[in-house]
Structure formats: C-alpha cells, structure tokens
Amino acid sequence: MKEKRFREIDLVRGLAVTGMVFYHVLFDLAALGYLDLAINTGPMKLFAEVTAATFFIVVGISLYISFSRAKKGANTGLELFRKYFCRGAKLLLWGGIVTGVTYLLYPGFAVIFGALQFIGVSVILAYFLLESLQGLGLVFRYAFLGLFAVIPFVVAGPIRTLGMSHRFLLWLGVTPPGFQSLDYFPLLPWFGFVAGGLILGELLYPEGERRFGVWALSNSLVEFLGRNSLIIYFFHQPLIYLGVFLFAFSTGQMDLQNITFLGSIR
C-alpha cells in the first residue's frame, strides 16, 4: 500500500499493536513473578484474543486492497504469485527467528506458529483465495469468502479435541497435551478473521479504493505504530524482557551471577 495509505487502517492496526505490547508487558511481569495476574484466563485472555482478532481482520483488509491494486497494474499471474509467495515466505522466516529467540527467553512458552508464521501462511492462502474469485459475480464472491470466514470456527473445536501427542499439526490447531506457547495462532480458527477481513475489504474498499467517507479520527503516533507493526512485533518481546531484567537487576531483585542464560530467569 505504498502508493496510497488509508489512515483509518493504520490507526486500527496501531491500536491493535499497542494492545499486543501492553498484554505482553503484563505477561512478562506475571511470568517473572512481579505481578499476580491470571494472564491466560478470564478478562486478560479475552483482551488478548480481541486484540489479535482485530489485527488479523486488518491483515485481511490490507491483503484485499494490495491484491486489488496489483491486479489493476501490469502484473502477470506469475508475478503476483511470486510477490505473495515471497512475502509469505519472508514472514515465515522472521517467525522462525522469533521462535528461536523466545525459546531462549521462555523455554516452556516458546512461540510456535505465532502471529508471523500465521500471517505468512495466510498471505499465501489469501492470494489463492482472491485469485480464485476473479470473474465471479459479487454475490458469489461474498458467499465464497463467507464460507472461509465461518468454516474455520466450525471445524476448530473438533480439531482441537483430537489430542494427538505429536506437534506436526500445530499449524492447523491440533495441540498435544500440556502444550503452551507465548504466541500461538493456528489456521483454525484464526484464518476465519483474515477471511472476514477480505470480506470487509470487498465491502469497504472495492478495487482498492475507499467506498465510504470516514470520520476524521486520527492519531499520528498510533498510525506510526500501525505502519511499523511488523518491526514492533519482531523486536518488542525481547526489548520488554530486557527492560524487566534490567529493572530487576538494578533494584537488587536479581543476582546476575546466578543466571546462565535468559531462560533461567523464569
């Protein structure tokens, strides 16, 4: 979306990123014993899920706008495939780095198929989904996208109860007993939110152009966060953890000589 950004999209994405950082600050404080808070249940879990859902809906809207504009350009089918496949593969690679870093920080909660991996796969899937809609009438496009928005939620429950002991289906939503992760977003049900974003993109930004006027609500700082959400996601967790570590060490609550690697802080 380099040629024309929609400020309302950057604003909503920025709010979601702010919520994500806030939640992970609380998670770190709770994980290190500085905050007595049920971070994985109740209101905090709901807050985390609403934040993630909002972000993924915006991902779907942005993908729709990007694809629509690319279609209006001189891109061939092969060029479009390369564009979205490479973009998805790059996100998967960065997600793999996040997995490695969080394994050092939280061995028991390492990110496995977290947001970056999920978005990487979703970028590729959304490309094929949008490409398959070409030539269909408006009603059929809405119906087709609607199926992909609903089916993940319907199937996710039965899939989750399979209870397999291996991890090779984690990307789909099948988790072994005792599995925990700081950031885990399987395709089922989370791709339903991306597909919902594609529907909103069709409704609100047909052919990559805004259909309706929007209320002039903006915030430059939040929009900046929204424009740089990928960088913030990639670096925020290690920086938060480092900040908590330095605070604990400077106040005498942590003995550096007893720490062999970051994961042992837990």
The token pair that represents 80 in the structure block: 């479009």
Phi-psi region of 33 (alpha: psi -120 to 50; beta: other; left: phi over 0): left
Please state whether the peptide bond connecting residue 189 to the residue before it is cis, i.e. omega within 30 degrees of 0. Answer: yes
Q: What is the mean pLDDT of residues 133-157?
A: 92
For the ranges 15-24, 141-150, 228-237, which has the lowest average pLDDT?
228-237
Closest residue by Cα to residue 241 from 264, 262, 258 = 262
Domain ranges of the chain: 7-265
Q: Which residues of 82-120 are buried (b: 16+ CB within 10 A; e: fewer)?
A: ebbeebbeebbebbeebbebbeebbeebbbbbbbbbbbb
Q: How many CA atoms lie within 13 A of 24 on its CB side?
A: 27
Q: What residue type is assigned to position 257 of the chain? A: Q
Residue identified by tokens 């960088």 is 231
What whole-number distance in Å separates Cα of residue 119 and Cα of residue 126? 10
Asked if residues 217 and 148 have their Cβ atoms less than 8 Å apart, the reply is no
pLDDT given for residue 253 in this prediction: 62
pLDDT, residue 254, reads: 54
Per-residue pLDDT, averaged over 75-104, amounts to: 90
Distance CA 86, CA 27 (A): 32
- If we measure between CA atoms, which residue out of 47, 13, 54 comes closest to residue 27? 47
What token pair was written down for 265?
């802080």
pLDDT in tens, 224-256: 999 999 889 888 877 887 887 787 777 766 544
Copy the structure tokens of residue 35: 């905050």
- pLDDT at residue number 24: 86
Query: What span, in angstroms and rounded, lies between the C-alpha atoms of 9 and 227?
Result: 9
- pTM passes above 0.95: no
